[in-house]
Structure formats: C-alpha cells, structure tokens
Chain A
C-alpha cells in the first residue's frame, strides 16, 4: 500500500533525520497543518473531514436502534470500519477491506472504546432489548501518510458533533434530533515513525515509505494511555518506547485543543 521511493531520496531522508531534520522542514515533534471541517454531510448523524498536510480523511457517524450484546445488555454498541478507497491513492485497490484498513479501523476503535469516551450506558433504550448501535465509518480521501492520527481525529470530531435522532415509542425519528452523544472524553492518537535512530511524529508518505517501525499511542484527557499499536518490522528499545509515550502524551494535549 506504500508504493516505491527512490533510494537516493530514502538515504537523504535518513541522513537528515540523523541530524534531527526532516525533508519537509518540520521538527521531530511537529505535526503538519491540521484542519477539521465539521458536519459537512447532512445524511450522517455527525461527520468530520480532517486534513493533515496532504492527507484527508472523512468520518461519519450513523445510528440505528438494535439489540445489545447479551453480555452487555444495558450498553450501546460501537462498530468502526475503514475503507481505503482507490480514489485516495494510486496504491489502493478496490475490493473487500485488506489488513491495512482493518488495522486502522481496529486501532481507532480501541482508542475510542477503551478511553470510555462514549458513555454507552446512556445509549440504552430498553435493557436487553433495544440500544443505539453507533456506526463509525472512516473514508480515506487522500493518502499522504499517517492515517491513524487523521482517522482518530476525524472520528472523535464526528462523534463530538453528532446529533442523536429522537426516540419515540421505541422508534428512531431521524428528522428530529435529541441532543449530542454522551461523550465523556476526547482520546487523541499520536503516531511516531522510527527511522534509523530518530523518532519523528506524524510521518508523511515518504517517511512511511522508509520507516523501520511505527508506534501509535492514544491518550485520554487525563493523560492516561488507552490504546497503543506498534507496527512494521523494526524494533524499539524499552527506553525509546517510554520516551515516545511521554512525547505522545504532551503532543496530544496540543491536538485536543483543535477539537
């Protein structure tokens, strides 16, 4: 899904990073420019499009009434999916979701679920019978690296801006809204690329093409960690992991202000 990159460019990116510099001029802890556009799509209960440099991700929230899981009869259900549609990159192909799309959906899902940011008990209509099922759909529009962070931002923003349909006599009335989703937190994911000995936040496409390993850290408002994912073949030392977590917790505070 990454495509090719010239060896000479690869070497240059690595060489610059050894000096603490990046090819696009950013520092190791700088994100690219972030723009969040909210509720662009009226057919969704809530939506957001996030641009992270050249990356663009849309997320939409749809809600339907359905049955709860039997082991959690008084809780609403969250279902997260991601589509890497071929419109977004010459390296994406149509067809059922492949492992990269599934990984993104699952990592975003864990961050949201484990942060407890949606108070799912408040999504229960009738215990054991009827609860809200929240579909969170990630639609990648332009792929220029770091889909994890762009997707999490888009999802949280879509959830925060969603308006729930009204419920009357156990039926959803989609034309009328009954207020926001019960949101208790704003989890933020921060993704770091290890390239040689350097570890840089928010890798853009070319950095993703050369990185040895990737680490995504999702943190809550309180600065606690709610989800992590290490990716690709390279490794991190214990010290690098701890150090990167500290950087991620700090960085997340900045990003959270954008919501």
Chain B
C-alpha cells in the first residue's frame, strides 16, 4: 500500500526513533511451556509470540507418513485478540500460506532421515501482532525445535527488510508495514547463510532489492546471536 499523507520519518528518524538499519528490541526465552516437548516465547517490538514443538511422534493421519524420513508440520495461528480488528478464530488463507512457507523454511535443516515414519509438529501462536509476525514466528519455532532436541544442522533465523518513504529499512513495524512500499521477509540457516524463506511484495529496483536483501540478511544474523543466547541461558547454572 502506498502511503498518502502519512509521515513515516520524523527528524530523519523512523516513527519509533530507530535508524534505517536498526532492529526493534527482541527478547527470547525457551522452555516456557510444560506440556510441549520444546517451546519458546518471543517478544519482537510489539509482537508477542509463543511457539511449541512436539515430536518426533507418530503421524496422524497415517497416510501422511513417509517411509524413509520424518515429516515436519507447521501451524501458524493468530489469537482473535492479537490484532486491532478481532480475527475470526481458525485458519484463513493468509495463515495457511504462512504455515506452508514456514514449514518449508524450517524443514530444510532438520535431520529427517533419523526418524522415519514420524512427524515433528510445530505450532506458532501469535498473541499480539505488529508487523513481522512470520519472521518472529519462524525464529521462535526454530528455538522451540532446538529446545525439544530435534536434531538439526542449524537454527533458522528470520528478519524482514522493506522500503518506507523511498528508503530501504530493516524490520518494519506496524505503521511502516501498512504504508510502506515494499516488504521482503527472509529466513536463513545462518552457518552457510543459506536462504530458506524469501517472499516479497511491493516495488523495488534491482539496486534497492540488493540493499534490502543485505539488510535483512544482517538482521537475520543479529537474530541468530540472540537465539543462541536464549538457548545457552536455559542451561546456565
């Protein structure tokens, strides 16, 4: 959506006082749920997200089972009270698409061959949303999987960049997302900087895309450091 009469910069700074390449404050904690095999709680700006991982466990329905590997299933869901206009409970088209690309982003690092005929279920619940919930959800989900002890060759870290008022910026918050001109969510396996999720909407020149891509990549690597700290913290004595 193109902005009309909405100011997205005040005195050269973004609406929340950030620089173009600055992330919102991020807090992560793992092992927050009793019943789940692994779990994580994440606050990213005004986003509040819980993720849980169950498995590897038996596959229901059975026909989804794969003889030679585990499958990964993801359900991204928003609480009805997580957005300004109450969201009707249950999956809509947006949630289903996010679930699908999130699954594909996470699956790539799981050593699925170790657990044939099983499923790793990942659940993401958005409790308060303010732009960037898919990146926050993927980041939390990857932590929940690590917390559950799912064998993985890397974590998955995610961050978006976009264009606001003609300028490329990282990690857009609500107003910037609504009135910005482009959005590029990215997820990577940080060790090899391998891209496992990439979406884009809006309008970038070739040059702007590269700038935004690099900014999102750097954001992912910053997120990765916070993820590692959150996991280490659980085992601190």
Q: A86-B121, A89-B35 are in contact. Are A64 and B86 (CB under 8 A)?
A: yes
Which residue of chain B is the closest to A137 with respect to CB atoms? B80
Give the distance to chain B from A99, nearest Cβ to Cβ, in Å: 16
CB-contact partner of A83 in B46, B60, B89, B129, under 8 A: B89
Q: Does B59 reach chain A (CB closer than 8 Å)?
A: no
Q: Does A187 reach chain B (CB closer than 8 Å)?
A: no
Give the distance to chain B from A33, nearest Cβ to Cβ, in Å: 13
B54 touches A61 (CB 8 A): no
Interface residues of A in 61-90 (CB under 8 A from B): 61-62, 64, 81, 83, 85-90
B77 touches A85 (CB 8 A): yes
Instruction: Give the docked Cα–Cα distance between A94 and B130 (Å).
Output: 24
Q: Does B177 reach chain A (CB closer than 8 Å)?
A: no
Q: Which of A13-21, A138-146, A232-240, A248-256 faces chain B? A: A138-146
Which residue of chain B is the closest to A96 with respect to CB atoms? B90
Please indicate the chain A residues that have their CB under 8 angstroms from the CB of B36 in the complex.
Answer: 87, 90, 142
Q: A87-B50, A94-B75 are in contact. Are A43 and B33 (CB under 8 A)?
A: no
Q: Does A8 reach chain B (CB closer than 8 Å)?
A: no
Please indicate the chain A residues that have their CB under 8 angstroms from the CB of B81 in the complex.
Answer: 41, 43-44, 47, 60-62, 135, 137, 139
Q: A81-B89, A141-B50, A144-B34 are in contact. Are A87 and B84 (CB under 8 A)?
A: no
Instruction: Give the docked Cα–Cα distance between A189 and B85 (Å).
Output: 30
Contact with B along A148-190 (1 / 0, CB 8 A): 0000000000000000000000000010000000000000000
Q: Does A258 reach chain B (CB closer than 8 Å)?
A: no
CB-contact partner of B82 in A43, A86, A87, A89, under 8 A: A43
Q: Does A54 reach chain B (CB closer than 8 Å)?
A: yes
CB-contact partner of A143 in B35, B91, B125, under 8 A: B35
Please indicate the chain B residues that have their CB under 8 angstroms from the CB of A40 in the complex.
Answer: 48, 127-128
Q: Does B79 reach chain A (CB closer than 8 Å)?
A: yes
Contact with A along B41-53 (1 / 0, CB 8 A): 0000010101110
Instruction: Give the docked Cα–Cα distance between A62 and B129 (Å).
Output: 14
Q: Does B123 reach chain A (CB closer than 8 Å)?
A: yes
Q: A61-B81, A62-B81 are in contact. Are A139 and B90 (CB under 8 A)?
A: no
Which residue of chain B is the closest to A87 with respect to CB atoms? B123
A90 touches B57 (CB 8 A): yes
A85 touches B125 (CB 8 A): yes
Which residue of chain B is the closest to A81 with respect to CB atoms? B89
A43 touches B129 (CB 8 A): yes
Give the distance to chain A from B38, nearest Cβ to Cβ, in Å: 11
Please indicate the chain A residues that have their CB under 8 angstroms from the CB of B90 in the complex.
Answer: 96
Q: Does B15 reach chain A (CB closer than 8 Å)?
A: no
Q: A42-B128, A43-B129 are in contact. Are A88 and B35 (CB under 8 A)?
A: yes
Please indicate the chain B residues that have their CB under 8 angstroms from the CB of A123 in the complex.
Answer: none
Please indicate the chain B residues that have their CB under 8 angstroms from the CB of A86 in the complex.
Answer: 54, 75, 121, 123
A60 touches B121 (CB 8 A): no
Q: A41-B128, A87-B125, A141-B33 are in contact. Are A81 and B80 (CB under 8 A)?
A: yes
B35 touches A54 (CB 8 A): yes
Contact with B along A30-62 (1 / 0, CB 8 A): 000000000011111001000000101010111
Q: A85-B123, A90-B57, A135-B86 are in contact. Are A142 and B33 (CB under 8 A)?
A: yes
Instruction: Give the docked Cα–Cα distance between A43 and B52 (Å).
Output: 22
B75 touches A42 (CB 8 A): no
Interface residues of B in 108-156 (CB under 8 A from A): 121, 123-125, 127-130
CB-contact partner of A43 in B34, B77, B123, B128, under 8 A: B128
Q: Does B198 reach chain A (CB closer than 8 Å)?
A: no
Instruction: Give the docked Cα–Cα distance between A60 and B127 (Å).
Output: 9
Q: Does B83 reach chain A (CB closer than 8 Å)?
A: yes
B34 touches A54 (CB 8 A): yes
Could you list which residues of chain A lie within 8 angstroms of chain B, going by C-beta atoms? 40-44, 47, 54, 56, 58, 60-62, 64, 81, 83, 85-90, 93-94, 96-97, 135, 137, 139, 141-144, 174
Given A41-B48, A88-B33, A142-B35, 8 further pairs, Cβ under 8 A: A40-B48, A43-B83, A43-B130, A85-B125, A87-B36, A94-B77, A141-B50, A141-B125
Could you list which residues of chain B lie within 8 angstroms of chain A, going by C-beta atoms? 33-36, 46, 48, 50-52, 54, 57, 60, 75, 77, 79-86, 89-91, 121, 123-125, 127-130
Q: What are 15 pairs between A and B in contact, CB < 8 Å?
A: A40-B127, A41-B48, A41-B81, A58-B127, A60-B80, A83-B79, A86-B121, A87-B33, A87-B36, A87-B50, A89-B35, A93-B60, A97-B89, A139-B80, A141-B33
